[in-house]
Structure 1
Amino acid sequence: MSSIYPPLETERLILREFVESDWQAVHIYASDPAVVRYLPFGPNTEEDTKNFLQAEVKMRRKKLRQHFAFAVTLKANKQVIGSCRISITNLDKREASIGFCLAKEFWGKGYATELGSKLLEFGFKQLNLHRIFAICDPQNKASMRVLIKICMRQEGYLREYELIKGQWRDALLFAILERELMQIQFLSIA
């Protein structure tokens, strides 16, 4: 039996678990070379996109969930505009990674910052994590800005970290600790 996690809401977005019928909306951005330029997948074929969604739905069946993938939808009209995820990488260390991807027409509107903040809140408050990190291509300036806006700190520069589309690529490592997020939230309330 697949367990669906309750949707996460922000001011303008709903982050909900994927359903297989999302494939056409996902395929629009997953097949766009500009969107997947810095990502380890794509541009997707229709079969790639359907396989991705089947895998995401299947992962919900695990007794101990360590991976949460969400369709990013607009609150106003429920349109799927991207995806995001948080994946527990080490249970003992209470550590996870986050990632996100948005359709090109929704870049530069603050949606990535909004969903990134919500992923951090979800990870720290609901998954009881201690540390959350993200990996970013050094050429992906927009994603770097988002990670900085959500108060993640650059911790490292990883040389030839991943083999992506036949090329070794460097990566930047960003992270935030639970106590840092709590300090940021306290300061924003004060």
Structure 2
Amino acid sequence: MKTATNFFMREITSEDWEAVHSYASISDVCRFQAWGPNSERETKLYIEQVLSDTSVEDPTRYVWGLADIEEGHLIGAAEMNILDKENEIGRISYVIHPGYWGRGIATQAAEQMISYGFQNLTLHRIEAVCDPRNAAAIRVLEKNGMEKEGRMRGHLKLDQGWRDSYLYSILVTDALYR
């Protein structure tokens, strides 16, 4: 079985839409999300929006493709959004193709985003939210030293109704002493 060290983070390109669609169109991948499963058009629009958002001079959105080192194709994506520049707050998220679940890729991608946020973007606080039913996401966040702050009730509207979210965070001072 491959380990997390067999991927790298890179910019997403317009040619990546088919690889993104290969996981964004799977209902299991999006069952805890407000998006998906994507149609081809929705995936292409997502790629266009990512390219637009990340090409501005002072971006508030950073998106990386997670690429398999051996095969070179995209196996997921990782994202950092700046929620509040003045208070130096960012939020991370990630999505992995189910063929690569359980290999530590999400954990390592989250770790890299947290490091990038603190070292390159000089953030003070990095957050993540997840569905309380998503045990795998909870493990990823906790493995990265993020602390659960609480449950946000009715936080996200899904097709099947409103979803609660757990809010996790890590501060730069927490990361320095881990």
Structure 2: unaligned runs, 5 residues or longer: none
Distance 2:109 2:161 in 1: 29
> Given residue 80 of structure 1, which amino acid in structure 2 is its aligned partner?
L
Give the number of aligned pairs: 175
- Residue of structure 1 aligned with 2:134, choices 119, 136, 140: 140
- Is 1:91 matched with 2:85? yes
Distance 1:171 1:79 in 2: 31
Deviation, 1:12, is: 2.7
Structure-to-structure mapping, 1:1-190, within 5 angstroms: 11-184=5-178
Deviation, 1:166, is: 4.6
Q: Which position in structure 2 is the counterpart of 1:3?
A: none
Structure 1: unaligned runs, 5 residues or longer: 1-9, 185-190
Distance 2:106 2:118 in 1: 18
RMSD of Structure 2 on Structure 1 (CA): 1.1
Distance 1:12 1:143 in 2: 20
Aligned-partner SS, 1:180: helix
Aligned-partner SS, 1:148: helix
TM-score normalised by L of structure 1 = 0.89
Does the CA contact (< 8 Å) of 1:15 and 1:72 recur in 2?
Answer: yes
Deviation, 1:61, is: 2.7
Percent identity between the two aligned chains: 31
> Given residue 19 of structure 1, which amino acid in structure 2 is its aligned partner?
T
Q: Which position in structure 2 is the counterpart of 1:7?
A: none
> Given residue 128 of structure 2, which amino acid in structure 1 is its aligned partner?
A
Deviation, 1:179, is: 0.9
TM-score normalised by L of structure 2 = 0.95
Does the CA contact (< 8 Å) of 1:15 and 1:73 recur in 2?
Answer: yes
Deviation, 1:78, is: 1.5
Structure 1 114/93 Cα, relative in aligned 2: closer, same or farther at 3 Å?
A: same
